[in-house]
Amino acid sequence: MIALLIVLCEVAFWVLLAVGLALRYVARKPRLGAAVLLCEPLLEVVLLVVTAIDLKNGAAPDWKHGLAAVYIGFTVGLGHSTITWVDARVAHRWFGGPPPQKPPKYGMARALHEWRTAARWILAAVIALALLQAAVWYVGTGGDTGSLRMWQQKMGWVIGVNLVIAAGYTVFPKQAPRDVGAREPADRP
């Protein structure tokens, strides 16, 4: 049941996003569209409550309960940036909005962008870790929490990989090619 609910929440996330953007741009009702988009967190609340009830009713914690915690964490940590990203592209592509701002390619500006991206992923992983730990405490020492601990290890990897990537852009910043200005006039007819 939990796995089905996770799938339903993911589908509902994209449906709410589409409906919210359609109301915002097609129906020209930006406030109503924003209200629909603000319903997104309700999906996570429903998933969290159902997962807790399932565990309370004696279900053995397994990979599905861990996945529910991870899904909630990632929606909280990355949901807003995903909605903003999609919104900018929909506005530009079909409704004459300005082109989406591209991330910087070089130097410390790129490193700063990577740290902001890493911060969102780390926030998602930390929220998932906290929910997983709450589930471990909820189940107690008498239950099998191995699958929940496995998800905690995976979230540790997510944090580590994002720190390594952001640190890599900081320590070894990508430099702009020196001949970019010299090539441009030759490329034009």
Residue 93 falls inside a structural domain:
yes
Task: Indicate whether 98 pLDDT > 50.
Answer: yes
136-160 confidence digits (pLDDT tens): 898 887 777 888 999 999 999 999 9
Query: pLDDT digits over 109-127, tens only?
Result: 999 999 999 999 999 999 9
Give the span between the Cα atoms of 31 and 174, in whole angstroms.
41
Total of domains in the chain:
1
Q: Which tokens go with 7? A: 């799938």
- Is 102 part of any domain? yes
Residue 186 within a domain: no
- Provide the 8-state DSSP code for 24: I
Tens of pLDDT along 26-69?
999 999 999 998 898 889 889 988 888 888 788 888 889 999 99
pTM for this model (two decimals):
0.84
CA distance 148 to 153: 9
Instruction: Report if residue 184 sits inside a domain.
Output: no
Check if the beta carbon of residue 139 is closer than 8 Å to that of residue 187: no
Q: Is 115 a member of any domain?
A: yes
Range of the domain at 121: 2-175
> For residues 6 and 29, what is the distance between their CA atoms, to the nearest angstrom?
30
Is the CB of residue 148 less than 8 Å from the CB of residue 65? Answer: yes
Any domain includes 136: yes
Please state, as a whole number, how many other Cβ atoms lie within 10 Å of the Cβ of residue 159.
Answer: 17
Task: Give the rounded distance of the alpha carbon of 23 from its chain centre.
Answer: 23
Q: What is the pLDDT of residue 180?
A: 55
Residue 182 resides in a domain: no
98-117 b/e (C-beta count within 10 Å ≥ 16 → b): eebeeeeeeeeebbebbbeb
Residue 68 forms part of a structural domain: yes
Is the per-residue pLDDT at 188 higher than 60? no
What crossing angle do the helices spanning 107-139 and 146-171 adopt, rounded to 10°? 170
